[in-house]
Structure 1
């Protein structure tokens, strides 16, 4: 039998390492440190997305939909191969950036994600296939596969057009977009609907169909928001705005679907997990309105010129939406516990660092006063993340060994 708590422990180890890397990146602007900033940034982002979040989501999917299948050894092989790829990227990126060995491990990871997607879609029991929750999960896995078009094109772009080409950045943004707007968000929504289904909630089919169409239209068309930085023709702005509005409508539909059943979440989730869900929902609506603004030429240009808006936005999505929701679901399925100390340190770190990042962008834009020790404050407050994630990881490790 597969011990999924152990798998989550490995994912949390990556979460802790990501936080430690983040501290080094923050202090790089405070004092002289002997590493290549871009190389470590690559390691930080790859370990965060493909180590911690990817493993957290795939473990959840296995726990919910696949624990009854008769091929646990195959999943063990997939998990082992995936972790070899993650460790390979984590070790090679800090020393060479995008080069031979890091590209080899990154490429192998794509095959690992294909392997898991094929395994999940092929092996899911028949009784799940008609559920709306599985429909969302299956779609998220297709977005995971589809996102890999971005990395596959990077090699050709670098060889022919070079890293300064607009197609280089576009390939990266294509990948990121379908990772967090497609794979991450739809997978988390699939888990959410599974919880409602298991609690006996029935939804009208036409409402589910409307939501499904809108959310996918939004995912596909908000891709155009990722290319506005090179000032494309006006039609790109219109299509991006259509995608942003579709996502807003989709989540209004979701609210209408769920508004009579929020009590179920409050009763079935712990108070800490429920708080994380409320935080993620609030910040998701902030994200939606930020997307709408970014569809207008003035703001699209502004965002491209002021990188702190992009950094703040990405941290809002990952630290404020995806990770809190993932943690809440992992606790719901008893794969980890959320310590109170972790929760408040993490929330305080998120609130203060996001405030500083966005203030810097606003200060440059609006000519507001800017304080000299900004990077020191940001680095010191960022230390809360490795402390918080360390508490989460080591307490999980302790509970795991005690339970054994």
Structure 2
């Protein structure tokens, strides 16, 4: 019995030692591998439309793709980058043990979702795995909030990060309410849709966006650069983010005064974004001094995509346009991909290059170019499909073209991952 206990303790020490050896850069490379899986599932979805694949359930595949993209790719990458920021750690340093465990737990739950959703869709195991990712997000938010309180780092950076963590926790309300509706056999489609959009809104426009802004602010602080009216910009986004959820449910009857508040919130975000971009442009010589051409173009692309996002958000205030766009699936998917790929994913990749977490070499430049081209083509096709649907004028060979775009995304991210085997420039 004593030998057995010693053996167990030895195994635990070995596992802890192995985990403690994982560096910040290695965690990000693992995130890129997860993005490869996301892109592979996306390509498989496009190919299923073209080829007979009776063994694969398209709906199950969609759930696996979307859930893993959120938890396994974006949330995992942001957790790593945010933790490294809080502790001011570089690419070859190790994250604190408690965060290493949290990341492992998130990955295990994410892979559990990937497999279970692919095999059964919404079922016992996929719900357990989904719940596990939510619990892990709570643990991460608690740990990060506590460690921020102990840090003496810039309050402007942590202001964005605290809001990101609050919205991360808040987003789970939509998931739990949807589970409640299903458990109570409430088949009200509007309530179910409102729950899904609640989760999506506070993930996309809350956790993802505010975490990226915290990382951006951290970059400004490291260059001793102050963005004019940055505190005001933060509070505008923080206050209006919950209000802008109403954009997702404009089809629901709401009082006129609430609609007016929504219009003010949308305009406020647009003005705040324009002011923030203006501040960045005013400091572009300082901010861009040490950036490579690849990173500069990536950040320009991110800023352009985010600006398009805010323009579309402003147009969606018009009820007729909102109802029309939300009724066409390609437009919704195009908007979600615009935020997830063109804004969040490209920002994470650019931030990885800036911090040395990703090495720049010829293959990396070529692969990133292919990936960005795939993002642009995918967006153009989805928006074109939506517009053609509204005009009732179908575009020929659209499934094939979408498969080509998905293939470019996969080839680009696989190439980027392979490029990281060598540090060369």
TM-score range, shorter chain: over 0.9
SS in structure 2 at match of 1:335? coil
Could you list the per-position Cα deviations for residues 165-207 of structure 1 after superposition, in whole angstroms to 9, with x for gaps in the alignment? 3111111110110111011111111111111111112356xx2
Contact kept in structure 2, 1:228 and 1:236, CA below 8 Å:
no
Counterpart in 2 of 1:346? 371
For residues 240-319 of structure 1, the aligned pairs below 5 Å read 240-319=262-341
Contact 1:12 1:52 in 2 (8 A): yes
Question: Against the structure 1 CA distance between its residues 60 and 103, is the aligned structure 2 distance closer, same or farther, given a 3 Å change threshold?
Answer: same
What TM-score does the superposition give when structure 2 sets the normalisation length?
0.88
Give matches, 1:47-86, under 5 Å: 47-66=68-87, 72-86=96-110
Q: 1:76 to 1:247 in 2, by over 3 A?
A: same
Report the Cα offset of residue 122 of structure 1.
Answer: 0.9
Note the C-alpha offset of 1:15: 0.1
Deviations, residues 257-284 of structure 1 (Å, cap 9, x unaligned): 3332112332222221121110010111
Q: What does residue 422 of structure 2 align with?
A: 399
TM-score (norm 1): 0.92
| CA shift for structure 1 position 106 | 0.7
* Structure 1 residues 351 and 67: alpha-carbon distance in aligned structure 2, compared to 1, 3 A threshold: closer
Greater Rg by CA? 2
Instruction: After superposition, give the CA deviation of every residue in 1:229-282 in whole Å (9 maximum; x if it has no partner).
Output: 445555554343232212101112212433321123322222211211100101
Q: Which string of whole-angstrom CA distances, capped at 9 and with x for unpartnered residues, describes residues 98-119 of structure 1?
A: 1110110110111111111111
Q: How many residue pairs align between the two structures?
A: 397
**Change in 2 beyond 3 A, CA 1:70/1:315:** closer
Q: How many Å separate the matches in 1 of 2:154 and 2:216? A: 16
Q: 1:188 and 2:212 equivalent?
A: yes
Runs of at least 5 residues in structure 2 that lack an aligned partner in the other structure = 1-20
Confirm whether residue 325 of structure 1 aligns to residue 347 of structure 2. yes
CA apart distance, 1:399: 3.5
The residue aligned with 1:148 is 172
- Other-structure match for 2:5: none
Task: Give the match's secondary structure for 1:117.
Answer: helix
Superposition RMSD on alpha carbons, in Å?
2.1
SS of the residue 1:295 aligns to: coil
- Give, in angstroms, the shift of residue 225 of structure 1: 0.5
SS of aligned partner of 1:28: helix
- Residue 371 of structure 1: how far off its partner (Å): 3.2
State the match for 2:17 in structure 1: none
Residues 1:16 and 2:36 aligned together: yes
Distance 1:304-1:234 versus aligned 2 partners, 3 A rule = farther
Counterpart pick for 1:43 among 64, 74, 84: 64
Deviates more, 1:335-344 or 1:294-303: 335-344
Do the aligned partners of residues 2 and 28 (structure 1) sit closer, same or farther apart at CA in structure 2, a change above 3 Å counting? closer
Pair 1:71–1:12, CA change in 2 (3 A): closer
Structure 1 counterpart SS, 2:357: coil
- Deviation track 1:142-172 (CA, whole Å, cap 9, x = no partner) reads 1111111111111111122435531111111
